[in-house]
Amino acid sequence: MSTESAVAIDETAPPAAAPSFASRNGLVINILLVSAFVVILNETVMSVALPRLMASLDVSASAAQWLTTAFLLTMAVVIPITGFLLQRLHTRPVFLAAMTLFSLGTLLAALAPGLPLLIAARVVQASGTAIMMPLLMTTVMTLVPPESRGKTMGNISIVMSVAPAIGPTISGIILNYLDWRWMFILVLPIALAALVLGARRMVNVTTPKAVPLDVLSVVLSAFAFGGIVYGLSNTGVPDAPIPGWIPLLVGIVAMAIFLTRQIVLQRHDGALLDLRTFRSKNFSISIIMMAIAMMALFGTIVLLPIYLQNVLGLSTLQTGLMLLPGGLLMGLLGPQVGKLYDRFGPTVLLVPGMALVSAVIWAMTLLGPDTWFGYILAGHIVMSVGFAFLFTPLFTVSLSSVPPNLYSHGSAVLGSIQQVAGAAGVALFVALMTARSTSLAASGVAPQAALSSGITAAFLCGAVISLLAVVAAFFVRRAPASGPGPAMGH
């Protein structure tokens, strides 16, 4: 396939230097950004809503967290397939498929009568979101020259930061006055508007090529990612239908087989996820850092609202407003961080950024039933600054470190690891919280104190893991200024 592939890759090379293409490229990226804003907004509206949904649907925290875990897990299973879709299909049909799935899932969520169907609706939503994010990242890498990628990723981070920031706030306002279904009813017209805009204005910017889809790899990835996350979510849960170690073992075995199969298939360019991206040391270290950062981010996003509402007694509106300043600050810092990356490279941003995140997680191990909420607000703001210094450099340096013919695979690998780590972080944090608080409550400790202790135990685990990322930050280097080198050998 070497010759055919090379031709296809040349056809998809960015024509950014030609003035006639500048407005087209800008239009495509802007449409993708608007749509990405909608799907990311949806991803975080659920965090503040979990305590309310637990009460409204009469379910436990372990059950309710599947609204987040199932979403992230579906993304992890679907994202590897996007590597195939982005090579095989034009930009426009991939975009339309993503937004149609997301809109359909939003409608189903608004109509869901109970938790099982609500989880199913979130799975449909996640299928659309999973396609959208790699499409955005691959398109940017294709159209934007290396010397401008930091700035562009910084601008993208405004959307990727502001949407999660206002998501919990919007959720808090809605839940303070309306039924939980309105979280989806209000998102639906925005999603449909993005779909109509894309249907009218989106154009194709790549040339498809014939690539195989290995069905066995798709099945193996589902068992691998599903087993690992489901196993983690049931670890330490006394009433779990299946002991956590069983699906965890299945997931680990399936993952080993999946990775082995990819190594074999990539020799003939038939892999679902081409692991040759990991030949880049920069890409590998960046992926490790991204995984740890996502575990910390999503674990914190889920635990903080539970702590603020069930331990400190804040309302959903107060919780949403508490999380707003940090998220907005993260978005405002995005363009500046992008400019700093283009000028100084990743290391001077990643080291202090990861150190800040780690320090705040360690501080959260000291939380108690009587902690002043102002400390939580300050800690979340500092952590958000740390994340602002992490995500733009990690996205940029990781994908800039692989050859152009592996951009779609690099985006798929990055997205898969990102979502699996997020799902694992949620599952692990909630499992540790549940196990610890259940044990203390059974021994006679007051429910509030038991829950507080469970949450700090989860943060302690996250704090220890975060130290690995602090060390890794020292080893990330700037990608070659001229962009990635020639394609890796087949």
pLDDT tens digits for the chain (490 residues)? 333 333 333 334 444 444 455 677 777 888 888 888 888 777 777 766 777 788 888 887 777 877 877 887 787 778 778 877 877 888 788 889 999 999 999 999 999 888 889 999 999 999 998 888 788 887 887 777 777 777 777 777 777 667 766 777 777 788 778 888 888 998 899 889 889 988 887 777 666 777 778 889 889 988 887 788 777 766 655 566 677 788 889 999 999 999 999 999 888 878 888 888 898 888 999 999 888 888 887 788 778 888 988 899 888 778 878 878 887 888 788 788 888 888 888 999 999 999 999 999 999 999 989 899 889 999 999 998 998 898 888 888 888 888 887 887 888 888 778 777 877 887 788 888 888 898 898 888 888 899 999 999 999 988 998 899 999 999 988 876 544 433 333 3
Q: Other CB atoms closer than 10 Å to residue 279's CB: what's the count?
A: 14
Structure tokens at 96: 């339309």
**Distance (Å, rounded) from C-alpha 192 to C-alpha 347?**
41
Q: Judge whether 338 and 490 are in contact, CB under 8 Å.
A: no
Return the pLDDT at 240: 63
Conformation bin of residue 203: beta by default, left when phi > 0, alpha when psi is -120 to 50:
beta
pLDDT for residue 233: 65
Alpha helix segments (H runs only) across 178-267: 182-185, 187-201, 215-234, 245-265
DSSP class of residue 198?
H
Residue that is written with structure tokens 């999503």 in the block: 298
Please state, in angstroms and rounded to a whole number, the distance separating the CA atoms of residues 36 and 239: 38
Long-range contacts of 248-254 (CB under 8 A, 24+ apart): 250/223, 251/223, 251/224, 251/225, 251/226, 251/227, 252/224, 252/227, 252/228, 254/220, 254/223, 254/224, 254/227
Task: Give the contacts of 267 (CB within 8 A, at least 6 positions apart).
Answer: 490
Put residue 476 in one of left, alpha, beta given phi > 0 → left and psi -120 to 50 → alpha: beta
**pLDDT for position 483:** 43
Angle CA(75)–CA(428)–CA(355) in degrees, nearest 5? 90
Please, what sign has the CA dihedral across residues 61, 62, 64, 66? positive
- Average pLDDT of the chain to the nearest whole number: 81
At a CB cut-off of 8 Å and minimum separation 6, what does 474 contact? 347, 351
pTM for this one?
A: 0.75
- Confidence at residue 366, expressed as pLDDT on a 0 to 100 scale: 92
The letter for the amino acid at 161 is: S
User: What distance in Å separates the CA atoms of residue 149 and residue 345, rounded to the nearest whole number?
Assistant: 12
Q: Which pLDDT does position 480 carry in this prediction?
A: 67
Residue 300, classed as helix, strand or coil, is helix
pLDDT at 228: 80
State how far the alpha carbon of 252 is from the alpha carbons of 70, 214, 229, 230, 278, in Å. 18, 20, 10, 12, 20
Q: DSSP secondary-structure letter at 65?
A: T
Give, in words, the CATH class of 17-473: mainly alpha
Give the model confidence (pLDDT) of 244-255 as tens digits: 788 889 999 999
Burial class (CB within 10 angstroms; exposed 0-12, middle 13-18, buried 19+) of 200: exposed
The terminus-to-terminus CA distance of the chain in angstroms comes to: 9
- Which run of H or of E encompasses 207? none
For residue 447, what are its two tokens? Answer: 């429910």
Domain locations in the chain as residue ranges: 17-473
For the chain, state the CA radius of gyration: 22
Distance CA 263, CA 271 (A): 7
Q: What is the DSSP string of 409-456?
A: HHHHHHHHHHHHHHHHHHHHHHHHHHHHHHHHHHTT--HHHHHHHHHH
- Per-residue pLDDT at 234: 67
Task: Render 6-55 in DSSP notation, one character per residue.
Answer: HHHHHHTS--TTSHHHHHHHHHHHHHHHHHHHHHHHHHHHHHHHHHHHHH
Contact 290, 472 (CB under 8 A): no
Residues in Cβ contact with 235 at an 8 Å cutoff, skipping those fewer than 6 apart: 244, 245, 248, 427, 428, 431, 435
- Which tokens sit at 417? 């690891």
Name the residue with tokens 């699996």: 420
